Structure 1
Amino acid sequence: MSPLSIILILVTGFVSYRGFKDHFFFGKYEFGVDKVRLYKDYKRLVTSGFLHVNWMHLIFNMLGLFFFAGSLIFILKPWGFLLVYFASLIGGNLLSLLVYKNQGDYTSVGASGAVNGAIFATIALEPNISIMFLPGWLFGLLYIGLTIWGVRSKRDNIGHEAHLGGAIIGMLVAIALRPEALIDNWPTILIIAVPTLVFIYIIITRPHLLLIDNLFFKRHTDHYSIDHKYNESRSSQQQEIDKILDKISKRGINSLSQKEKQMLRDFSKK
């Protein structure tokens, strides 16, 4: 195990633990669509990768980093590994930002995108590596298939988009650093990269083809009850108040417009 991977694990563990204990700290550095798009808080594209929801989330990601960092650092050297890791982290969050661009309250944390980038970079460079008793190329294909299913089904709260974005960015960066891999391992790279890129293109440009309930396409519009409308209204109000409070924390209360001050007064009376 290399010193670099130890440092990454320790730093991630420390920041995640701080986030477990301090909700304000957690909220300040998590990935959030509105925080990035509206407030241009781009650091969240990176800082969110050092936060985790709970111990299980943290341990699972750090185990992935533990098992794959060494091989990738050996092949690409430390700077190459860091490039793959952080490019995958940012790429995964950017894909989430694109997919959820109209869902301002969407948030996420975790190093999964970065770790997936490291795993798939390793597969691109060493396709015969064994992962969970499977050859790397088969593991990669099955994982991408399950991730695509996860994006399509929306049956859990896992950030599959970040996983998918991180995986493909990790492969592409590794190939850019070691172009000879494209010649030596092109079958593995193609069977993983092609369906991934096609699916990413579909979820960005033609989400209606997936026939799923997400921010682009809604099937169940006939049962939009009064309760749903009420909850949506409350959620919308809370989002507005959160934006105002965030603005106060950054620029002070004098930066608020008269309308924003009135909204804050009205909300405090409820």
Structure 2
Amino acid sequence: MLDISPIVLLIMAVTGFVTYKGLNDYSFFYKYCFDIDAVRAGEKHRIFTAGFLHVDWMHFIFNMMTLYFFGDYLMNSVGIVYFLLIYFVSMLIGNLITYQMYHNKTGYRAVGASGAIMGVLYASIMINPNMMLGIFFIIPIPSYLFAVLYLLYSVYGMKQQNDNIGHSAHIGGAVAGLTLILVKYPVLIEMHPLLLGVMLIPILLLFVLFKKGKL
């Protein structure tokens, strides 16, 4: 059993409370979810608050388990302040990219902390590419492979657009987390150039698909 810091526990608790409130009170959920029409009308707070809501408990558990496994490792590596910077900047960048991609799509809504989680995941993997993750706590898989597959799934989710999960925020969060960790430790570019290239594949795929109008 991994130890968990008060900071990570607090993030999980606040996210859990907001998710619980949103799942039991639709008016609350609607007030704070990422709704493109509301954001365009000036409700900019949704870019932040959507990162604390989830579409269901499985969505919440998946995100918080990833935070549980990687949050303290990243915090111990970069310090509390920079960890919080990565978490919340990844959340905001993820939703800002979502806004840029869907600002003309009336009725688009999405929620999830996945932008922040992907930022933490990508930053952690760049520091330690050898970390392993147990899928369903049984099947071992390299964490970088998990991250790449998850982002590829996110690209697929963006094409389907049928689950109200902010898949585009996953991509934005990964970009933010990767950028921030490389800003802090630029030597990682020289240490892990192949890893960096592999982790950029889903991001480049997204860019190509977006440019071709296939998203």
- TM interval, short-chain normalised: 0.7 to 0.9
Alignment of 1:1-270 (within 5 A): 1-37=4-40, 39-132=41-134, 133-152=140-159, 154=160, 156-157=162-163, 158-193=165-200, 195-207=201-213, 210=214
The residue that corresponds to 2:137 in the other structure is none
Question: Does the CA contact (< 8 Å) of 1:45 and 1:93 recur in 2?
Answer: yes
Of structures 1 and 2, the one with the larger relative CO (CA 8 A, separation 6+) is: 2
Letter in 2 for 1:160: H
**Aligned counterparts of 1:186 and 1:3: Cα–Cα separation in 2:** 34
Q: Which TM-score applies when normalising by structure 1?
A: 0.71
Question: Does the CA contact (< 8 Å) of 2:36 and 2:106 recur in 1?
Answer: yes
Shift of residue 21 of structure 1? 2.4
CA deviations over 1:220-268 (Å, ceiling 9, x no partner): xxxxxxxxxxxxxxxxxxxxxxxxxxxxxxxxxxxxxxxxxxxxxxxxx
Question: Does the CA contact (< 8 Å) of 2:155 and 2:206 recur in 1?
Answer: no
Letter in 1 for 2:185: R
**Aligned counterparts of 1:147 and 1:15: Cα–Cα separation in 2:** 23
Question: Does the CA contact (< 8 Å) of 1:99 and 1:203 recur in 2?
Answer: no
**Aligned counterparts of 2:191 and 2:14: Cα–Cα separation in 1:** 36
Any gaps of 5 or more consecutive residues in structure 2? 135-139
The residue that corresponds to 1:256 in the other structure is none
Between Structure 1 and Structure 2, whose CA radius of gyration is higher?
Answer: 1
Q: Structure 1 residues 69 and 191 mapped into 2: Cα distance closer, same or farther (>3 Å)? A: same
CA deviations over 1:1-43 (Å, ceiling 9, x no partner): 1110011011111111121222222111111111112x22221
CA deviations over 1:44-96 (Å, ceiling 9, x no partner): 11111111222222222111111110101011111111111111111221222
Q: Which runs of 4+ in 1 moved over 6 A?
A: none
CA RMSD across the alignment: 1.8
Helix, strand or coil at the partner of 2:79? helix
Any gaps of 5 or more consecutive residues in structure 1? 215-270
Letter in 2 for 1:162: A
Q: Which TM-score applies when normalising by structure 2?
A: 0.87
CA deviations over 1:143-168 (Å, ceiling 9, x no partner): 3333333334x174243212122122
Helix, strand or coil at the partner of 2:195? helix
How many percent identity over aligned positions? 36
Shift of residue 108 of structure 1? 0.9
